[in-house]
Amino acid sequence: MANSSNYDPSAVGVKGSIFGLPFTEDDSSIVILPVPWDATVSYSAGTADGPQAILDASAQLDLEVVGKEAPWKQGIWMAPIDKMDRSKSQDLRLLVEPYIEVLEAGGDYTQAAEVIESVNSGTTGLKNQVKVKTLNYINKGKTVGLLGGDHSCPLGYLEALSEKHDDFGILQIDAHMDLRKAYEGFQHSHASIMYNALQLPSISKLVQVGIRDFCEEEMAVVKADPRVIVYFDQELKWQQFEGTTWQSLCKEMVAQLPDKVYVSFDIDGLQPSLCPGTGTPVPGGLAYEEAVYLINQVKSSGREIIGFDLCEVAPQSDDKEWNANVGARVLYALCGVV
């Protein structure tokens, strides 16, 4: 951990480092890996700009946390944003957008095969790159938090963790199941991340919380795979309306998880008033403190959180950094439970 004797956490936050902190890679226990990528987003683009927006907004956070030591004291450092990845994502979006427009109009895109091949090649390259980077940090004893980008981004990280851990579960906070196989033909679609994750034998459980948008194909996966446990947002809300406490619901969710847990946090798992700019917003969802309480219950249960991602934060030009502000606070909360 860094010598923070000259650092004043009560002073004005300085933009340029995550949360305005003074740490370097060497003296941090948590490394944030930004992935500025949204090549396969099927509704609204912009999540590739999430890492930069969150970095900029993070300096405005006050760093103390009620009831426990402030997370920043562990040492948190964010790697530089890869401009080449951002450029590659933009190039692929130019190919993808007209293809999706034709699909949504019910037509046949004459260059569909070329688009799918280019995108699959690009996303495979990104996946492999993320795996190499995260393995490098893990081998240095760091805990990695991946900051997307769309929800396809963490697959390489999950592959890296699978090489280090024989058995772990995923707690997924999300509006969507993301269990479609190669959605729109894209092998590594944002809507396919958990389908792809389940191909990894190390993943023994997937607990999905806040789900409120799903299709028949995804329900078939849920019914066929006993590893997948879904807590639908409607059912959670109705149980609360009838007197069940959020505490008891969270304890039930956490009890489904093995000893080691990876947290995958899609920002659209929250109420859309908290993340209006996200790629695919859906009515309903968790309140901010409900989500924070849930991830803290994982930690307080004695389970080890071995890594996490935060994806699908998309800044809007007219929101005065609201999306990024909320995203930065979720990111800080995640840092506090590893």
Domains contained in the chain, CATH given = 24-335 (3.40.800.10)
DSSP readout, 99-164? HHHHHHTT---TTHHHHHHHHHHHHHHHHHHHHHHHHHHHHTTPEEEEEESSTTTTHHHHHHHHHH
**CA-to-CA distance for 290 and 236, rounded, in angstroms?**
11
Block residue for tokens 């999905």: 208
DSSP H helices in 140-257: 155-164, 193-197, 216-224, 233-241, 246-255
What is the pLDDT, as a whole number, of residue 100?
A: 83
What is the pLDDT, as a whole number, of residue 145?
A: 98
**CA-to-CA distance for 11 and 3, rounded, in angstroms?**
17
Cβ atoms of 207 and 256 within 8 Å: the answer is: yes
Q: How far separated are the first and last CA of the chain, in Å rounded?
A: 15
DSSP H helices in the chain: 50-58, 83-104, 112-139, 155-164, 193-197, 216-224, 233-241, 246-255, 288-300, 322-335
40-63: average pLDDT: 89
DSSP assigned state of 270: B
pTM above 0.85, yes or no: yes
**CA-to-CA distance for 176 and 213, rounded, in angstroms?**
5
What is the pLDDT, as a whole number, of residue 106?
A: 87
Average pLDDT of the residues of the chain? 94
Block residue for tokens 């196989």: 181
What is the pLDDT, as a whole number, of residue 320?
A: 65
Cβ atoms of 316 and 276 within 8 Å: the answer is: yes
Hey, which residues does 176 pair with through a beta bridge?
Answer: 213
Q: Which of 300, 285, 284, 280 is nearest to 330 (CA)?
A: 285
Block residue for tokens 């997924």: 172
Tell me the pLDDT tens digit for each residue of 317-330.
666 689 999 999 99
**CA-to-CA distance for 177 and 267, rounded, in angstroms?**
13
Indicate the pLDDT class of residue 103, thresholds 50, 70 and 90. confident
Half-sphere exposure of 213 (CA within 13 A, CB side): 14
Q: Please say if the pLDDT value at position 97 is more than 90.
A: no
Is residue 110 exposed (0-12), middle (13-18) or buried (19+ Cβ within 10 Å)? exposed
Indicate the pLDDT class of residue 1, thresholds 50, 70 and 90. very low
Tell me the pLDDT tens digit for each residue of 133-155.
999 999 999 999 999 999 999 99
DSSP assigned state of 80: P
User: How many other CB atoms are there within 10 angstroms of residue 136's CB atom?
Assistant: 14
Indicate the pLDDT class of residue 110, thresholds 50, 70 and 90. confident
Single-letter code of the amino acid located at 285:
G
Burial letters 182-208, b for 16+ CB under 10 A, else e: ebbbbbbbbbbbbbbbbebebbebbbb
Overall residue count recorded for the chain in this entry: 338
Q: Please say if the pLDDT value at position 165 is more than 70.
A: yes
Cβ atoms of 76 and 28 within 8 Å: the answer is: yes
160-181: average pLDDT: 98
Q: Which of 274, 323, 276 is nearest to 54 (CA)?
A: 323
